[in-house]
Amino acid sequence: MKLRCAVIEDFQSVATTVVDWSPVTDDVEIVTFTEHLATVDEAATALDGFDIVVTLRERVPFPAELFARLPRLRLLVASGMRNSVIDFDAARRHGVEVCGTASSSTPPVELTWALLLGLARGIVPEATALRTGGPWQSTLGADLHGRTLGLLGLGKIGARVAQVGLAFGMDVVAWSRNLTKERTDEVGVTLAASKEELLVGSDFVSVHLALGERTRGLIGAAELARMRPTAYLINTSRAAIVDTDALLAALNAGTIAGAATDVFDVEPLPADDPVRSTPRLLATPHLGYVSRANYETYYGQAVEDIRAFLDGQPVRRLG
């Protein structure tokens, strides 16, 4: 009898077509789920009777309660090699192997610049006006050349965002709690003396930090108040790093020129969420990692993980 594998959160219905699953299909039946599993109850009901689950990024939490309600589960494959919503201790207690995959930093870098440029040149309102018979030219674009790009975080993604900023002729500054001058010199940018200095002096502020206790709520009302009224904030990292209520208040009050975000406190975003109607906010549905090449890596290595597990030699173990 074949094992049963659930591939969840396959919103685009591409999981089984972007890669070849034939290395495991003799032993495993693949079932895809295109709807979001929003609660433990929904996940427990949908995944009951499955031996393997492939989950995408951190969309669906796997707390202890869920593991307890999935007695057949033996392998959980999560895209990426870091996951904050899986209870690894509970997985071990219930005999569930957890494995990961590689993940490219290229897609979030590219999306960061898509959002930044979209904000700077008013792409969405101008394109909407053109298609709906609105005014011909209603915005005044913000220039990049000679302006200051402030990066909160200069890791793998932040450093690549910095290189693009430099190519645009921007002055790039960076800050994080443990950032050193050696690192900024290596990337070719300036080390800001403090978070406050970066916020006060930047025309564009982009967030590239991991979420943790020290970064949760890092940008709140006080920090937003330090930004220039002509400045823009971009967050493609984690929603909780920026206080959403404070950001929406600043945008509604016009105290900053605009913001872009690809991440939200609740995903998918509820239909009545004020984010959907806040002015000067460019929002995308967590597309940072959603690219063909990245999906080929995620699902291709998920197949490898399953095959290795079936062969008794699990690879890319997490937790």
pLDDT at 237: 97
User: Does residue 286 have an active-site annotation?
Assistant: yes
CA distance 110 to 159: 12
pLDDT at 220: 98
Q: Label residue 153 by pLDDT band (50, 70, 90).
A: very high
pLDDT at 75: 98
CA distance 201 to 132: 37
pLDDT at 103: 95
pLDDT at 162: 98
Q: Out of 59, 160, 208, 238, which one is annotated catalytic?
A: 238
Using an 8 Å Cβ cutoff, are 197 and 220 in contact? no
pLDDT at 29: 98
pLDDT at 93: 98
CA distance 51 to 129: 50
pLDDT at 187: 98
Q: Label residue 78 by pLDDT band (50, 70, 90).
A: very high
pLDDT at 244: 98
Q: Out of 74, 267, 280, 316, which one is annotated catalytic?
A: 267
Q: Label residue 18 by pLDDT band (50, 70, 90).
A: very high
pLDDT at 248: 98
Which whole number is the average pLDDT over 111-120?
98
What amino acid is encoded at 35 in this protein? E
Q: Out of 57, 147, 160, 286, which one is annotated catalytic?
A: 286
What percentage of the chain has pLDDT greater than the value 70? 100
pLDDT at 33: 98
Q: Label residue 241 by pLDDT band (50, 70, 90).
A: very high
User: Does residue 238 have an active-site annotation?
Assistant: yes
User: Does residue 208 have an active-site annotation?
Assistant: no
Q: Label residue 163 by pLDDT band (50, 70, 90).
A: very high
**pTM for the full predicted model:** 0.93
pLDDT at 27: 98
pLDDT at 113: 98
Kindly report, residue by residue over 249-308, the tens digit of the pLDDT. 999 999 999 999 999 999 999 999 999 999 999 999 999 999 999 999 999 999 999 999
Tokens of 65: 């309660």
Query: In Å, what is the CA distance from 237 to each residue of 12, 34, 129, 172, 242?
Result: 22, 24, 30, 18, 10
Is 282 buried (19+), middle (13-18) or exposed (0-12) by CB count in 10 A? buried
CA distance 18 to 252: 41
Kindly report, residue by residue over 196-229, the tens digit of the pLDDT. 999 999 999 999 999 999 999 999 999 999 999 9
CA dihedral 296, 301, 303, 306 (to 10 degrees): -160
pLDDT at 156: 96
pLDDT at 316: 98
